[in-house]
Chains A and B, each alone.
Chain A
């Protein structure tokens, strides 16, 4: 290996040429094939039983998320102007290419089935906009007397009415959203305000906003990192070469992804984040070593200097990179494909960063010359050394402080972790004051809720079970229980509502008949009548052809995991009762899938975290040929992960797809710091028996490089605190935190334990 690297030194232009050539090839691939995946369903493991069932149920009952267009008039909606706006907007939406005509529901499209003295009447609420006071009053009366409309399509305070347009998961684009927004805006007047909300809007905006914000922020992050790196290394050449390593490794990762036709998922935007944080490390360590070597041997030729750098440093660089890469490969255990890809391509990027650091940086130095070592730098270096020596001495003098503080921090973190909660909410990722959150809140205040949870009752193919009065009564009871007991459940809807409505209608609209009839024949005949009078498609959304499967829809006022879980908890109390009828319970819909998905990600993340920790310990034990070192080396990682989760718990930052992935960074960085430090410690220990001196020297060498690394990345990621997208802000804060704790953990408790373990001194004593 060393020989090969030295040979490469003689052919610097070939190295540079080859790198640029392959990069160009990857770049072409990216230009041709890179595409962003915004359909969240594509992120989910399709063969997971919960998803497979949900997808099937969505197919059976045509369950789709709806865009909600709410028309608000403070003076009430029962006037010609508002009703005309409702009609026009409904028709415009029906004509949009992305929306199926039949999937648009509003007061304008709805059927009003009413009972009369001698029979039944099915009519539209209105077709021509009512102009006279009498016809407006009649419409108002009809709406208020129809429980399938009042509170669902028109708010109880009569100031808001909604249009619901269901769309397929994959049709949402930025253009489509803007088209709807401008359409809505074009109908606004002094009195009429129009709001647009709904899960497709939230999901779509999130899928677009996150990466778009990243695109804006990453260049600034890179700029700041470059600047700070320059201040640290005091050399334009060194800075540029280090950044080139990061740049090429990111380019190659995404290039390879494009070449393999793998789309860019939202989590893929974390790959550059990881590679920036990890990629600069190799460069910093190499240059740090080079500078120290030049300080001691000011007259060394560039070839001598580089040879020494490679000789001393190739091992730790390779060790850190391989260990980190394997840590990321552990993510393959996840059931979620985008996470697997994230793991593989980050690992690939990390290995490429290693290759570039060991080949491109030396080649670059050969071509552009050594970084200048100025006198001022020398003075500064001395100060730095003093600082490092002092720190090492202090740490070793007060070993108990490190141990005590670490123990306290670990205990505190574990306490904090108890408060950690999982959140699959999309809405919670937006600013509290953003339009999207405010609109959602507004609609939730006036209607049942913008989030739906579908409960699928399945009689396992037994026909006509859902015509049985006792089964429908049980379902109705469960629906009322949820609506009454849970603030967050605003509404529910199923076959029971149609049955009750028909019973009432056929009994001259008397309220006491708003119940489930006692005879199966009666239910069957009502449903037949409904089918013949109303829109039969409506029934297909709540029950299957054989009356063997039922879809119960609950409307929730929040999409966070706690809300969904509280509804599910009450539903589950009915499991036994339904079981007596041979009916099983399953769930469907995007809210539920989001919940399961988040659980899956976390489960996978925790599993891969433990797995990579074990792998890291084994690898370090093998590399340093000592199991104790393996354990000691894992300390910065463990502390970083614990503190990260602990602080999230205390600060009420929930675990979600982004924040969970951050634990991977703890591993990447933790290993880097630990390996470099231990390797340097080992080298120093072989030269002297003075523990204090070994610690001081190691601190001045590796400790210095590690601190540079930490400062550079922290400065860079602090930039994300100015992001407009809250998850990206959390990301910036947590990456910075992880860098900081890894650094502190390495130079304090790890050094203490390293010293106390006596591993390298026992050897030298022999």
Chain B
């Protein structure tokens, strides 16, 4: 239940942007490309409706609709999520405050059936987010220096000219041995990312299916994460996205969680 700002998170993680297309003739290193991907502006606040669909190997689906608000307050990022459906969990809400410092996140949950707000302990980065195929780590920011980046090749993916970058983790205990990301040369947005597990076997494939420029900022609005080992996948689709509307920071309180949107 960490940075529940999925949108920003996904965008940050994958990818990218870069407003200006690459200067002709300049040869970028793998690290420089990833830096451009990571350092992409994301806006100060964001509101959106999120539809998360979990699909298991036999094709059964679990669909959840959530309304989310996130706001970057400088040294702390706050987010709040309200479940819209399924009906029996409607108005269940989660709030998370995550700090730039080493302080661990603060998180709360409100269960309408219990009519109480409860504080819950923080998760580990390896935990899967809401039973999906995304881990918290997949959704959070990753430091540029945490991996060794290497430009492997350039190739066309989905009709887009891409760089293929391999990022090998420097920390041996990290859940992924390495990742491969295909970066669109024209806008430094990720197109696809492959995750390899500790045994160096392909574990998951993230595919960016749709991006949209909203208020001058690229937002990924449709993505799919597929766990190829478990044959299980999760799609996240955003709608009604609003960026930089400037809603009040006072929205992020326990009282607001109970009151609902």
List A residues at the B interface (Cβ < 8 Å).
Answer: 59-60, 116, 118-123, 464, 467, 506, 517, 519-526, 528-529, 531-533, 535-536, 539-540, 544-546
Chain A, Cβ-Cβ closest to B94 = A532
Q: Does B89 sit within 8 A of A, measured CB to CB?
A: yes
How far is A525 from B116 in the complex, measured between Cα atoms in Å? 12
Residues of B within 8 Å of A532, CB to CB, are 1, 94, 129-131
Q: Does B118 sit within 8 A of A, measured CB to CB?
A: yes
Contact A120 B131 (CB under 8 A): no
Contact B120 A120 (CB under 8 A): yes
Residues of A within 8 Å of B118, CB to CB, are 118-120, 506
How far is A545 from B89 in the complex, measured between Cα atoms in Å? 15
Q: Interface readout for B31-67 with A: 1 if CB under 8 Å, 0 if not?
A: 0000000000000000000000010101011100000
Query: Quick one: which of B58, B108, B111, B130 contacts A522, CB cutoff 8 A?
Result: B111
Contact A525 B120 (CB under 8 A): no
Contact B120 A121 (CB under 8 A): yes
Residues of A within 8 Å of B54, CB to CB, are 545
Chain A, Cβ-Cβ closest to B56 = A545
Contact B1 A524 (CB under 8 A): no
Residues of B within 8 Å of A525, CB to CB, are 88-89, 92, 111-114
How far is A123 from B247 in the complex, measured between Cα atoms in Å? 35
Contact B121 A506 (CB under 8 A): no
Q: Interface readout for B199-221 with A: 1 if CB under 8 Å, 0 if not?
A: 00000000000000000000000
Q: Does B123 sit within 8 A of A, measured CB to CB?
A: yes
The 29 sampled A-B contact pairs (Cβ below 8 Å) are A59-B58, A60-B58, A118-B119, A119-B109, A119-B119, A119-B121, A122-B120, A464-B88, A467-B88, A519-B113, A520-B88, A521-B88, A521-B113, A522-B111, A522-B113, A523-B88, A524-B86, A524-B113, A525-B92, A525-B111, A528-B92, A531-B130, A532-B131, A533-B120, A533-B123, A535-B128, A539-B131, A545-B60, A546-B60
How far is A121 from B119 in the complex, measured between Cα atoms in Å? 8
How far is A116 from B127 in the complex, measured between Cα atoms in Å? 21
List B residues at the A interface (Cβ < 8 Å).
Answer: 1, 54, 56, 58, 60-62, 83, 86, 88-89, 92, 94, 108-109, 111-114, 116, 118-121, 123, 127-131
Chain A, Cβ-Cβ closest to B132 = A536
Residues of B within 8 Å of A517, CB to CB, are 113
Residues of B within 8 Å of A531, CB to CB, are 130-131
Contact A544 B60 (CB under 8 A): yes
Chain B, Cβ-Cβ closest to A508 = B118
Residues of A within 8 Å of B116, CB to CB, are 506
Residues of A within 8 Å of B119, CB to CB, are 116, 118-120
How far is A123 from B124 in the complex, measured between Cα atoms in Å? 9
How far is A532 from B114 in the complex, measured between Cα atoms in Å? 17
How far is A524 from B56 in the complex, measured between Cα atoms in Å? 19
How far is A118 from B94 in the complex, measured between Cα atoms in Å? 15
Residues of B within 8 Å of A528, CB to CB, are 83, 89, 92
Residues of B within 8 Å of A522, CB to CB, are 111, 113-114
Excluding A122-B121, A525-B114, A528-B89, 19 further A-B contacts by CB distance (< 8 Å) are: A119-B109, A119-B118, A119-B121, A120-B109, A122-B123, A521-B88, A522-B111, A524-B88, A525-B88, A526-B111, A528-B92, A531-B131, A532-B130, A535-B128, A539-B131, A545-B54, A545-B61, A545-B62, A546-B60
The answer to whether residues A540 and B56 also contact, given A522-B114, A545-B61 and a CB cut-off of 8 A, is yes
Task: With both chains docked as a complex, state the minimum distance between the C-beta of B10 and any C-beta of chain A, in angstroms.
Answer: 18
How far is A544 from B59 in the complex, measured between Cα atoms in Å? 12
Residues of B within 8 Å of A533, CB to CB, are 120, 123
Q: Pick the 8 closest A-B CB pairs, nearest first.
A: A536-B131, A119-B119, A524-B88, A522-B113, A119-B118, A545-B60, A531-B131, A521-B113
Chain B, Cβ-Cβ closest to A97 = B199
Task: With both chains docked as a complex, state the minimum distance between the C-beta of B123 and any C-beta of chain A, in angstroms.
Answer: 7
Task: With both chains docked as a complex, state the minimum distance between the C-beta of B234 and any C-beta of chain A, in angstroms.
Answer: 11
Contact A506 B111 (CB under 8 A): yes
B60, B86, B116, B121: most-surrounded residue (chain A CB, <10 A): B121
Task: With both chains docked as a complex, state the minimum distance between the C-beta of B43 and any C-beta of chain A, in angstroms.
Answer: 26
How far is A122 from B54 in the complex, measured between Cα atoms in Å? 23
How far is A535 from B130 in the complex, measured between Cα atoms in Å? 9
Residues of A within 8 Å of B111, CB to CB, are 506, 522, 525-526, 529
The answer to whether residues A529 and B131 also contact, given A121-B120, A121-B121, A524-B89 and a CB cut-off of 8 A, is no
Chain B, Cβ-Cβ closest to A117 = B119
How far is A522 from B131 in the complex, measured between Cα atoms in Å? 19
Residues of A within 8 Å of B61, CB to CB, are 545
How far is A517 from B1 in the complex, measured between Cα atoms in Å? 25
Residues of A within 8 Å of B89, CB to CB, are 521, 524-525, 528
Task: With both chains docked as a complex, state the minimum distance between the C-beta of B228 and any C-beta of chain A, in angstroms.
Answer: 14
Task: With both chains docked as a complex, state the minimum distance between the C-beta of B202 and any C-beta of chain A, in angstroms.
Answer: 15
Residues of A within 8 Å of B131, CB to CB, are 531-532, 536, 539
How far is A545 from B112 in the complex, measured between Cα atoms in Å? 23
How far is A159 from B63 in the complex, measured between Cα atoms in Å? 45
Chain A, Cβ-Cβ closest to B92 = A525
How far is A172 from B120 in the complex, measured between Cα atoms in Å? 42
Chain B, Cβ-Cβ closest to A518 = B113
Residues of B within 8 Å of A116, CB to CB, are 119
Chain B, Cβ-Cβ closest to A528 = B89
How far is A660 from B81 in the complex, measured between Cα atoms in Å? 64
Residues of B within 8 Å of A519, CB to CB, are 113
Chain A, Cβ-Cβ closest to B116 = A506
Residues of B within 8 Å of A544, CB to CB, are 60
Task: With both chains docked as a complex, state the minimum distance between the C-beta of A224 and any C-beta of chain B, in angstroms.
Answer: 53
Residues of A within 8 Å of B62, CB to CB, are 545
Chain B, Cβ-Cβ closest to A530 = B131
Residues of B within 8 Å of A119, CB to CB, are 108-109, 118-121
How far is A514 from B145 in the complex, measured between Cα atoms in Å? 48
How far is A546 from B54 in the complex, measured between Cα atoms in Å? 12
Residues of B within 8 Å of A523, CB to CB, are 88
Task: With both chains docked as a complex, state the minimum distance between the C-beta of A367 and any C-beta of chain B, in angstroms.
Answer: 64
Query: Quick one: which of B60, B109, B127, B129 contacts A529, CB cutoff 8 A?
Result: B109
How far is A521 from B87 in the complex, measured between Cα atoms in Å? 8
Chain A, Cβ-Cβ closest to B86 = A524
How far is A522 from B116 in the complex, measured between Cα atoms in Å? 12
Residues of B within 8 Å of A118, CB to CB, are 118-119
Task: With both chains docked as a complex, state the minimum distance between the C-beta of A96 and any C-beta of chain B, in angstroms.
Answer: 12
Chain B, Cβ-Cβ closest to A525 = B111
How far is A467 from B92 in the complex, measured between Cα atoms in Å? 16
How far is A522 from B118 in the complex, measured between Cα atoms in Å? 14
Chain A, Cβ-Cβ closest to B124 = A124
How far is A333 from B254 in the complex, measured between Cα atoms in Å? 70
How far is A536 from B129 in the complex, measured between Cα atoms in Å? 9
Chain B, Cβ-Cβ closest to A548 = B60
How far is A119 from B118 in the complex, measured between Cα atoms in Å? 4
Task: With both chains docked as a complex, state the minimum distance between the C-beta of B172 and any C-beta of chain A, in angstroms.
Answer: 14
